[in-house]
Amino acid sequence: MEEKYIDKKECIKSGYVKGKKGIYRLSALEKLYARGRLDYGDRKYLASERFSAGNRLANDWARANQGVLSSMWKEDKIESNNKSHMVDIIMQKQQPYLLAAKVVPFEFWPIVRLVCVENRLPEFDEKIPLRRRSEQAYLLYCDLCRGLDRLIDYYCGIKNNQ
């Protein structure tokens, strides 16, 4: 396999940054936060709060699927009396993510899932004019912010109830 080096401009364009702990790649949510795309939506919430809510959703998803994804690749033999206990553990791990996902309206869920869970930015058709693409991007990011606003309300409600 041939190694290929890229220059600094390509690294920055790909989303790599240099931090205190070394060089790492920004997540889709971090890129949008850095570009100021999380400033849309309700004025009572800050972009940093939306960023935190999106990160918490991503962490809930990762915790919910941690055991499920790793056990798919293993051929572990599970005894019949432990199956119900295993299902209970999996359901307990998935519950925070499922409850948070239920709070986001279905109109906003596709973009929230794309950015926070799948860690991808929306892609637009290159054939349409630039102005139309920027209009579509604005609408999607507004929907993202409105979905994250719902998550902020939900997560703040959990914190206040504890």
Give the per-residue pLDDT at 85.
65
Identify whether the C-beta of residue 111 lies closer than 8 Å to the C-beta of residue 147: yes
Task: Quote the CA–CA distance of 68 and 148 in Å, as a whole number.
Answer: 26
Q: Indicate the range of 31-35, 44-48, 69-73, 90-94 predicted with least confidence.
A: 69-73
Query: Between these two residues, 58 and 41, which has the higher pLDDT value?
Result: 58
User: Which pLDDT does position 69 carry in this prediction?
Assistant: 47
Confidence (pLDDT) at 2: 76
Taking CA atoms, 6 is separated from 2, 3, 14, 24, 118, in Å, by 13, 10, 10, 15, 26
Sign of the dihedral defined by the CA atoms of residues 134, 107, 96, 70, in that order: negative
Q: pLDDT band for position 47 (50/70/90)?
A: very high
Distance CA 127, CA 28 (A): 24
- What is the overall mean pLDDT for the chain? 82
Residue 45 gets which letter from DSSP? Answer: S
* pLDDT over threshold 70, residue 48: yes
pLDDT exceeds cutoff 60 at 22: yes
Higher pLDDT, 64 or 113: 113
pLDDT at 73: 45
Q: Give the angle subtended at the CA of 160 by the CAs of 105 and 58, to the nearest 5°.
A: 45
Once rounded to an integer, what is the mean pLDDT over residues 5-19?
Answer: 72
For the stretch 56-91, pLDDT in tens is 999 999 888 875 545 544 555 555 555 566 667 667
Give pLDDT, residue 142: 94
Residue 162 has pLDDT above 70, yes or no: no
Q: Please check the confidence at residue 105 and state whether its pLDDT lies above 90.
A: yes
